[in-house]
Structure 1
């Protein structure tokens, strides 16, 4: 199942959630009406009132909980006890976590998520939360940082990234919200019993009876809530394990993490049981201890054996005995196994990449071992000073704007004037110094990834600051009347991802449009891509355009007509193309690749444009393809 099929599955899962929720609400309302009818008789007006009251309580409860999660991944992580990882973390475990997450984010082609640690949890666990990749957050327990080596931590994080890529996160947040509404009746009954426990009198007795009825009826809600979470979660956890292995191309890391969960006393169970139950469907491991019908995860031994078929229960017992005497230390295992050395190199600056449309479409949302090794090379060979600036709240704006400064002195002076007018002289001077220093020597394949590393720091700035920053980016890109491919790519990705992080719920939706309804937009997109790849050869550009059109609209005759405003014409096509259904987006990716590689190869600049198109349309593409 590829990325687009998984997105379609996630959309169907959302529909199934609505059905299960409606079924649960119907069961609760019928139970309440039955209880009222037994006590007060079958009065239609009274039953209508209780039905309406129950629906209002459930609906308002769900709306309240969803509103409390409106902030997306960061809000969820904070509500469940997460502590943000500092930008200047000195703790080796936190630095290792940041490195692993950044590498996997770059390898998968998504913005680097926010990072959180559950400091009070000694168990091994993690979760990903958010409405989309632009507002995603990943939280890991302190136990995971202390006990897992780098390969094992990588396996856990890759598992969580599969939830980011497959559209599972938004379903997880909706589950928290709607299930809270189902549980409201029970919560009200429990609260009334607690407040009235010391009172006496006839009226109090009736209130107590009503509270007990609410508790009993609420148990129906609890049953449905646990059943819904279990039915939605188990299959997705198996898929996430398989995706993590596909990503890293080694089973030892993920299997090792699962073995440590099974073999250590703390396992994966969280200390805060209330939070653990509400978030049980989001966790990497079983944080509550449910089994049977209510189990949100497959049995731990089954998960291990899916990765290592020869593993047996007796081996697990030996590991338990070994770790009881000497608990594992992740950092010490890293040093002993040499897991902290870079393992890959970057291609030449002028390399041309050998690709095919199906190959690129298969890589969307499905990074593999080569992508991870390339991301490892990109991050490990990035100058430490630049990475430090990307993590600095004070310097990050200068860094990103420095990437956009022109080499021409006159143009650069106008750009710096725009920066000074909006953000001050200090930001402008910092951008100029970086553009003439470390940024000038940066490999082309490291520019967008460096911006991705800076993204979590940028998105934590106040909304007014972000609006001014994005306005500055727009002014810097357009001040000379000419927008290069790289300028457009970086500016557009920043605008889309930062604006989505400001209002994540607004952008969390699956499209439903068919290719035939966006013919004009497809034509414009393919014409821009063809022209960008063949600026001095109109005949070659036309051939590239037709190669792409044949992929997506083979029966339509739409003549090649390159737009006069070049790459800026893409601004007009994004809304319609982003509304395509998932499988139609697969055709779109193949068509764009066919246009960019009509001769079988694409340049690094074309690769950046391809990644930008995929990123804006929520089809994350790894940072590089196979070099010829």
Structure 2
């Protein structure tokens, strides 16, 4: 199952969740009305009175469930993944930490983010939890957070930690996070009746209870309906999440290209006393999001497949008796992940040249969406090690990240850069302008292939600045890239990605209104996109036209359109995102296939083409791993000015 098929499956799961919610509401309304009928002896009342009472009871039940669900989902959506993690007692890991276990965690997360083409998420640690567990939460990849327990940090070696983090990244990439937040909201609404019932139960002695007698029956009705709702909610949670966990395990293996790490983490859960249990009182709220079961449920309500079944899928030779032997071995001394790393010889490799695996274009490009190809992790590690340590450190610090991001787009031409820095000084002050100038000097010596990965690393620190400053940075980037009258490919890619990621972080939605569309309706947007990409990668007009037609034939085989590059290329490209992002998974796969066909038409993949392809995929929420540049290198000629 590739990325696009997984996206379709997530949409189906969301639709199933809606129908299950509706069914649960119908059942609860029926139960409440039955309790009201019996409790108020409506069979002895006039028919009109009975109907009115039942209608009022049904409407109140629907309002309690619906409003509770809506408010809970809205609060979770506004808070982002970090709110869920901090609600369980998690604390934010500084991106520039030098603590060895935390630095190892950050390195693993950065590598997987670069390899999978997704923003680097926030990291949280649950310090009081000794069980091995983790979860990913958020509404969009831009506001995602990954939380790991202290037990996972202490007990897992690097391969095992990578397997667990890859499992959580699959939830980010596949869109499970939004489904999980909706599920929390739905379940909160369903159990809201029980909460209301407890609030209405009279307390304080029999005299007070007698004075509140009229509330006793409604409270009992609400509590009965609520506790039935708890059982229904657990069934829904189990039904939605079990298959997602199997899929996440499989995706993690695709991400890491090895099974030993993930299987080893699951074996440690089975062999250690703490297992994967969470002590937090809120563990049940997030039980369907966790890597392992946070609470022990019966098989009917279990949110995860049996542990032995998960291990056997990864290691067909697994003997369940191995867990007992591991438990006996670790009874005297618990395993240490850092000690195992040293025994396995994990060290910090020296920087090496950056060379990505060359894909068999274009089919393998489509297959690589959301699923890093073999060698992607090695390539991501090489990219990170090729970035100078001081530059890497400044990308992780909130006080230096703004100047670094601005320095990426400052011109090498001194007069132009002087004008750009005046703009920076006017918006953000002289110190930031001076720092951006210094960054531009340092970053000018950087390999072009490292620029977008560096921007990815900078994103977590950038989004911790104030909303007012982030909006100023968004606007300023656009002004800086247009300052010299020419916009090159990297400048557009960087400004577009930063704008989208920051917008989604602040508002939990894309910067455009996504409208559902078919390929036929989106044909003008497809033609514009393919024409811009063809013009970027092919200098000769005839070659560009041929590449355009080849790509168009892959996306819209029955449509004939002329090759007409828009005069204002970047402005035209800004207008295609609403229609293209509204396509379903199968249609997006065709668009990516057409793009890759255009890029590979001449057998050359330039850095500019690689950056543009990755940017387009990111804008369509189809994360693409870093690709190899094959051939002439970066394009020197920019497209016509934007806007």
In the alignment, the residues of structure 1 paired with residue 228 and residue 513 of structure 2 have an alpha-carbon distance, to the nearest angstrom, of 30
Q: Is the 8 A contact 1:387 1:450 kept in 2?
A: yes
Structure-2 residue corresponding to 1:502: 506
In the alignment, the residues of structure 1 paired with residue 629 and residue 317 of structure 2 have an alpha-carbon distance, to the nearest angstrom, of 34
In the alignment, the residues of structure 1 paired with residue 200 and residue 134 of structure 2 have an alpha-carbon distance, to the nearest angstrom, of 35
Q: How far is the alpha carbon of 1:562 from its aligned partner?
A: 1.0
Alignment partner of 1:116 is 2:124: yes
Q: 1:286 aligns with which of 283, 288, 293?
A: 293
Alignment partner of 1:327 is 2:334: yes
Structure-2 residue corresponding to 1:524: 528
In the alignment, the residues of structure 1 paired with residue 546 and residue 207 of structure 2 have an alpha-carbon distance, to the nearest angstrom, of 84
Q: How far is the alpha carbon of 1:207 from its aligned partner?
A: 3.1
Count of aligned pairs between the two proteins: 623
In the alignment, the residues of structure 1 paired with residue 349 and residue 571 of structure 2 have an alpha-carbon distance, to the nearest angstrom, of 38
In the alignment, the residues of structure 2 paired with residue 511 and residue 122 of structure 1 have an alpha-carbon distance, to the nearest angstrom, of 45
Alignment partner of 1:28 is 2:28: yes
Q: Is the 8 A contact 1:352 1:627 kept in 2?
A: no
- After superposition, the Cα gap between the structure-2 partners of 1:24 and 1:448, relative to the gap in structure 1 and judged at 3 Å, is same
In the alignment, the residues of structure 1 paired with residue 240 and residue 100 of structure 2 have an alpha-carbon distance, to the nearest angstrom, of 36
Q: 1:435 aligns with which of 430, 434, 440?
A: 440
Q: Is the 8 A contact 2:160 2:260 kept in 1?
A: yes
In the alignment, the residues of structure 2 paired with residue 394 and residue 341 of structure 1 have an alpha-carbon distance, to the nearest angstrom, of 27
Alignment partner of 1:492 is 2:529: no
Alignment partner of 1:52 is 2:74: no
Q: How far is the alpha carbon of 1:566 from its aligned partner?
A: 2.7
In the alignment, the residues of structure 2 paired with residue 343 and residue 291 of structure 1 have an alpha-carbon distance, to the nearest angstrom, of 50
Q: Is the 8 A contact 1:352 1:601 kept in 2?
A: no
Q: Secondary structure at the match of 2:234?
A: helix
Q: How far is the alpha carbon of 1:404 from its aligned partner?
A: 0.7
Structure-2 residue corresponding to 1:393: 398
CA offsets per residue over residues 101-126 of structure 1, 9 Å max, x none? 01100100011011111111111100
Structure-2 residue corresponding to 1:423: 428
Alignment partner of 1:303 is 2:306: no
In the alignment, the residues of structure 2 paired with residue 288 and residue 91 of structure 1 have an alpha-carbon distance, to the nearest angstrom, of 30
- So what's the TM-score if we normalise by structure 1? 0.96
* Larger RCO, structures 1/2 (Cα 8 Å, 6+ apart): 1
Q: How does 1:127-526 map to 2 (within 5 A)?
A: 127-193=135-201, 195-196=203-204, 200-272=208-280, 274-342=281-349, 345-347=352-354, 355-437=360-442, 439-505=443-509, 512-526=516-530
In the alignment, the residues of structure 2 paired with residue 352 and residue 251 of structure 1 have an alpha-carbon distance, to the nearest angstrom, of 21
Q: Secondary structure at the match of 2:331?
A: helix
- After superposition, the Cα gap between the structure-2 partners of 1:428 and 1:602, relative to the gap in structure 1 and judged at 3 Å, is same
Q: Is the 8 A contact 1:84 1:116 kept in 2?
A: yes
Alignment partner of 1:7 is 2:15: no
- After superposition, the Cα gap between the structure-2 partners of 1:4 and 1:508, relative to the gap in structure 1 and judged at 3 Å, is farther
Q: Secondary structure at the match of 1:117?
A: strand
In the alignment, the residues of structure 1 paired with residue 169 and residue 202 of structure 2 have an alpha-carbon distance, to the nearest angstrom, of 42
Q: How far is the alpha carbon of 1:467 from its aligned partner?
A: 0.5
- After superposition, the Cα gap between the structure-2 partners of 1:199 and 1:605, relative to the gap in structure 1 and judged at 3 Å, is farther
Q: Secondary structure at the match of 1:139?
A: strand
- After superposition, the Cα gap between the structure-2 partners of 1:30 and 1:495, relative to the gap in structure 1 and judged at 3 Å, is same
Q: Secondary structure at the match of 1:523?
A: helix
Q: 1:64 aligns with which of 45, 49, 71?
A: 71
- After superposition, the Cα gap between the structure-2 partners of 1:314 and 1:399, relative to the gap in structure 1 and judged at 3 Å, is same
Alignment partner of 1:575 is 2:578: yes
In the alignment, the residues of structure 1 paired with residue 24 and residue 580 of structure 2 have an alpha-carbon distance, to the nearest angstrom, of 36
In the alignment, the residues of structure 2 paired with residue 252 and residue 510 of structure 1 have an alpha-carbon distance, to the nearest angstrom, of 41
Q: How far is the alpha carbon of 1:533 from its aligned partner?
A: 0.6
Q: How far is the alpha carbon of 1:31 from its aligned partner?
A: 0.6
CA offsets per residue over residues 249-302 of structure 1, 9 Å max, x none? 111100111011111111111001x31111010000000111311111011111
Q: Is the 8 A contact 2:500 2:510 kept in 1?
A: no
Structure 1 segments unaligned to the other structure (5+ residues): none
- After superposition, the Cα gap between the structure-2 partners of 1:343 and 1:583, relative to the gap in structure 1 and judged at 3 Å, is farther
In the alignment, the residues of structure 2 paired with residue 472 and residue 175 of structure 1 have an alpha-carbon distance, to the nearest angstrom, of 39
- After superposition, the Cα gap between the structure-2 partners of 1:420 and 1:67, relative to the gap in structure 1 and judged at 3 Å, is same
Q: Is the 8 A contact 1:127 1:282 kept in 2?
A: yes
- So what's the TM-score if we normalise by structure 2? 0.94
Alignment partner of 1:549 is 2:552: yes
Q: How far is the alpha carbon of 1:463 from its aligned partner?
A: 1.2
* Greater Cα offset, 148-157 or 508-517: 508-517
| RMSD between aligned residues | 1.9
In the alignment, the residues of structure 1 paired with residue 202 and residue 214 of structure 2 have an alpha-carbon distance, to the nearest angstrom, of 15
Q: Is the 8 A contact 2:124 2:148 kept in 1?
A: yes
Structure 2 segments unaligned to the other structure (5+ residues): 44-49, 632-643
- After superposition, the Cα gap between the structure-2 partners of 1:195 and 1:476, relative to the gap in structure 1 and judged at 3 Å, is farther
- After superposition, the Cα gap between the structure-2 partners of 1:333 and 1:557, relative to the gap in structure 1 and judged at 3 Å, is same
* Greater Cα offset, 500-509 or 12-21: 500-509
Structure-2 residue corresponding to 1:78: 86
CA offsets per residue over residues 18-65 of structure 1, 9 Å max, x none? 000001111111111001101221510001011111111111111221
Q: How far is the alpha carbon of 1:355 from its aligned partner?
A: 4.1
In the alignment, the residues of structure 1 paired with residue 110 and residue 340 of structure 2 have an alpha-carbon distance, to the nearest angstrom, of 21
Q: Secondary structure at the match of 1:622?
A: coil
Q: Is the 8 A contact 2:369 2:623 kept in 1?
A: yes
In the alignment, the residues of structure 2 paired with residue 352 and residue 144 of structure 1 have an alpha-carbon distance, to the nearest angstrom, of 31
Q: Is the 8 A contact 1:389 1:399 kept in 2?
A: yes
In the alignment, the residues of structure 1 paired with residue 96 and residue 505 of structure 2 have an alpha-carbon distance, to the nearest angstrom, of 22
In the alignment, the residues of structure 1 paired with residue 510 and residue 32 of structure 2 have an alpha-carbon distance, to the nearest angstrom, of 35
In the alignment, the residues of structure 1 paired with residue 201 and residue 417 of structure 2 have an alpha-carbon distance, to the nearest angstrom, of 70
* Greater Cα offset, 78-87 or 479-488: 78-87
- After superposition, the Cα gap between the structure-2 partners of 1:513 and 1:201, relative to the gap in structure 1 and judged at 3 Å, is closer
Q: Is the 8 A contact 1:354 1:602 kept in 2?
A: no
Q: How far is the alpha carbon of 1:428 from its aligned partner?
A: 1.2
Q: How far is the alpha carbon of 1:392 from its aligned partner?
A: 0.9
Q: How far is the alpha carbon of 1:357 from its aligned partner?
A: 1.7
In the alignment, the residues of structure 1 paired with residue 234 and residue 99 of structure 2 have an alpha-carbon distance, to the nearest angstrom, of 38
